């Protein structure tokens, strides 16, 4: 194996050597399900290989009494996994793409982005409010979410509700909802609920016109060592071209805005008839001030790459050699252009104030 590939072990099976690929993941049930999904796809594509899953806790898993936006660390759910990757303890790690910063540490790259599931948010109601919507919940009902993005968008639309922080993995949050009588509803990503098999708990899906989603939400990312060509080749077959291009545009938008979880930034993307559409917005913490625009660009089809190998330059942390470079650059430029448009219209002031207020409270 080329690069720093010493972590890939071998196993004796039926007298012949079989490659063992070590896969890093967070310990939560959802993270394990997501990793199992990726490993199952890799096993199908590479039947001659064996995979070992290594679970570990991250900073974001350990700090549960503070809102994510207050911790001030961009790699809350990725740093420990990247450390294991750097030390050759694992060969690849599986993340929710929305947890991965738009700038990766040197030596790492996103080698695959799997086909995106529904990126929208969902409302899960306390059993006594089944059949309700956010609009029909009683006055001063408490709605739990750890996301500034969701609060900023929904507080303005539903002023009769009180939005409160809730932390923990999906199991913990649902238990808090059902048992503590503290929340009338909580807001979670549709994709996470679907992966856990909890579709029946979805009481309301928030479509982009109601609440735009987080950059990369609904997509799984596989992070690898950037120079580990064997592992890059192994995982790159998982790339879903449409998802990759949408997420490049979204990540470029966020990076150019210099946004993160400490400010309310949201997006909506779609591909239609060779056009990539990106809607992006920024909000003040209370949602009273906002700015939103939509732009589009032409994406050349077919999106399958037919040229020879290139030097694997990353775009917003992503290496996707099997997708035409021109299409990737068009997606990146779309994100940068939309961010520049919003910044020229005064978005920087909205974001600066949001950051300052978030630091104070």
User: 331-347: per-residue pLDDT in tens?
Assistant: 999 999 999 999 999 99
* pLDDT confidence of residue 1: 37
Mean pLDDT, range 101-116, rounded to an integer: 94
* pLDDT confidence of residue 355: 82
Count Cβ atoms below 10 Å from residue 179 Cβ, excluding itself.
Answer: 9
* pLDDT confidence of residue 356: 83
* pLDDT confidence of residue 358: 73
pLDDT, one tens digit per residue, over 71-84 is 344 445 567 888 88
Q: Which of the residues are catalytic?
A: 99
Q: Is the pLDDT of residue 65 over 80?
A: no
pLDDT, one tens digit per residue, over 232-270 is 999 999 999 999 999 999 999 999 998 665 689 999 999
Q: Is the pLDDT of residue 4 over 80?
A: no
* pLDDT confidence of residue 182: 93
Q: Confidence band (pLDDT; 50, 70, 90) for 302?
A: low
């Amino acid at each position: 194996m080329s690069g720093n590939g010493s972590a890939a072990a071998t196993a004796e099976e039926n007298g012949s050597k079989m490659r063992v690929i070590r896969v890093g993941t967070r310990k939560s049930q959802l993270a394990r399900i997501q990793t199992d999904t990726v490993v199952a796809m890799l096993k199908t594509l590479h039947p001659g290989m064996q995979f070992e899953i290594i679970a570990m806790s991250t900073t974001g898993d350990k700090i549960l009494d503070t809102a994510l936006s207050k911790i001030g660390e961009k790699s809350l759910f990725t740093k420990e996994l990247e450390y294991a990757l750097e030390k050759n303890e694992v060969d690849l790690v599986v993340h929710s793409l929305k947890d991965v910063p738009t700038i990766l540490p040197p030596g790492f790259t996103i080698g695959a982005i799997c086909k995106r599931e529904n990126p929208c948010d969902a409302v899960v109601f306390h059993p006594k409010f089944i059949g309700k919507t956010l609009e029909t919940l009683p006055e001063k009902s408490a709605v739990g979410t750890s996301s500034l993005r969701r609060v900023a968008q929904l507080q303005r639309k539903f002023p009769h509700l009180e939005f409160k922080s809730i932390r923990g993995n999906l199991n913990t949050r649902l238990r808090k909802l059902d048992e503590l009588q503290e929340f009338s509803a909580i807001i979670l990503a549709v994709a996470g609920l679907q992966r856990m098999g909890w579709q029946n708990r979805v009481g309301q899906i928030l479509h982009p016109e109601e609440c735009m989603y987080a950059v990369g939400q609904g997509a799984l990312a596989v992070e690898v060592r950037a120079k580990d060509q064997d592992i890059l080749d192994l995982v790159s077959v998982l790339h879903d071209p449409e998802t990759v291009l949408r997420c490049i545009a979204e990540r470029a938008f966020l990076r150019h805005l210099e946004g993160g979880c400490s400010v309310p930034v949201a997006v909506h993307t779609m591909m239609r008839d060779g056009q990539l559409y990106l809607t992006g917005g920024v909000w003040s913490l209370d949602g009273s001030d906002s700015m939103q625009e939509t732009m589009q660009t032409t994406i050349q089809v077919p999106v399958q790459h037919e040229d020879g190998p290139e030097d694997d330059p990353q775009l917003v942390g992503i290496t996707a050699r099997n997708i035409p470079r021109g299409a990737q650059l068009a997606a990146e430029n779309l994100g940068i252009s939309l961010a520049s448009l919003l910044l020229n219209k005064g978005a920087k002031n909205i974001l600066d104030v949001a950051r300052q207020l978030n630091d104070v409270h």
